[in-house]
Amino acid sequence: MSRQDGSGRQVTTGPVDDSGTPILHVDMDAFFASVELLRRPELRGKPVIVGGGGQRGVVSAASYEARKYGVYSAMSMALALRKCPNAEIVPVDMPRYVAISKQVMTIFEEITPFVEKLSIDEAFLDVGGARRLHGSPAEIAWTIRTRVRQELGLPCSVGVAATKFVAKVASGRAKPDGLLVVPADRTLEFLHPLPVSALWGVGRVTEESLGRLGLRTVADVAATPLDALERAVGPAVGRKLHALANGVDPRDVSTQHVEKSIGHEQTFRHDLTDPEEIRRVLLRQAEDVAVRLRRAGLLGRTVVLKLRYTDFRTVTRSRTLGEPTDVAKRIYDEVCLALDALDLDGDRVRLVGVRAEQLRPSGIAASLWDPDEDWRQAERTVDRLTERFGRGAVRPAALVRRGEHDRVEPQRGQVDPFLG
């Protein structure tokens, strides 16, 4: 039994058949903001925005009170404050969020070993094998919500369903602080009235393409011939949407997490217009990405440059390599080529980012000839020096500001920059 309120929130309120619903999606509610309210309880009930950087910063999270004003994550802080001028601004404390996330995930893993962590604040659980110890899926979901609330003081929402897709939709419908079970035999009854935007992977462009066919609901997509969908949105997307709209999602909960991309980006307090200054930022970010790739034992086949201009136009340019790499010099060279192709011509840039995609384990199918091998050995030497002497002990010469090398003698344990 479930009920829906005027806001569209839908929760389970009574006995329900959960015998065919082993998949849970647990999503922490406004996680960053909820964590901050633990140490600042006087802000409860007020619109709270977690973010930084003043007017040029970006919203990392917003409490539900702030969301009522139209404030959402990734929005510019300036726009958020125009929408909600009475908001309380709290700086981001990522180490604290990561530490509490680990405690949340530990609760999940004490219920079942089959936990697929999607991000810092959400996960899928397969509780099919946990019934004997912990009860039915609905009972397990209730237990999880109770433990997270009692042990950590945080709210979460849980969707319980036969598939991952439906469980994720259900947790979203139950927000905030709710539980929704979708019985297996009522999956289509639950899905079909929803708008097409509820389908996984349907963004603005795909929604517009479906709208041109007159497809507004999930039921419309389910009833559309597959070949018509494939012509509208492409074969791969068309097949996926047709399957999801008909309640088909064969994916299992996976306990092996594979990074889809590794990247760094930075928003600046003052716009950048000098291409050389942008290149300095790109060099620093390329180094950070390469270090993370090597630590994770991964190689990236595609390198992506991201720029956001002062008017919030955002562009990305990608370059696919002949051989995947974890070498900063290669990553830097490729993003610089992408930057040159943009021809900035005085454009004002407020955000710069570098990302590696199409990741694979570094030991798989190594090339007979590695064009980056010499640089890789040099950078691994730098990794070892960094572990011993700390970050900044070795830096590319381009990251030493003009005159700095002449003014400052290397400190004990610091190595002169040698990468040109």
Q: Are 100 and 148 in contact (CB under 8 A)?
A: no
d(Cα 326, Cα 375) in Å, to the nearest integer? 10
CA angle 196, 200, 202 (to 5 degrees): 50
Q: Is 27 annotated as a binding residue?
A: yes
Q: Are 33 and 43 in contact (CB under 8 A)?
A: no
Which one, of 298, 16, 376, 375, lies nearest residue 179 by Cα?
16
Q: Are 255 and 276 in contact (CB under 8 A)?
A: no
d(Cα 236, Cα 62) in Å, to the nearest integer? 35
Q: Are 177 and 29 in contact (CB under 8 A)?
A: yes
Catalytic residue (choose from 36, 88, 122, 334) = 122
Instruction: Calculate the alpha carbon distances from 70 to 78, 82, 150 in Å.
Output: 13, 10, 30
d(Cα 302, Cα 322) in Å, to the nearest integer? 9
Residue partners of 302: CB distance under 8 A and separation at least 6 = 318, 319, 320, 321, 356, 357, 358
Start-to-end C-alpha separation, the chain: 67
Residue type, 382: V
Is 65 marked active-site? no
d(Cα 263, Cα 353) in Å, to the nearest integer? 7
Q: Is 288 annotated as a binding residue?
A: no
Instruction: Calculate the alpha carbon distances from 307 to 74, 140, 304, 316 in Å.
Output: 15, 45, 10, 6
Which residues are identified as catalytic?
122
Residues tagged in the binding site annotation for Mg(2+): 27, 121
Residues tagged in the binding site annotation: 27, 121
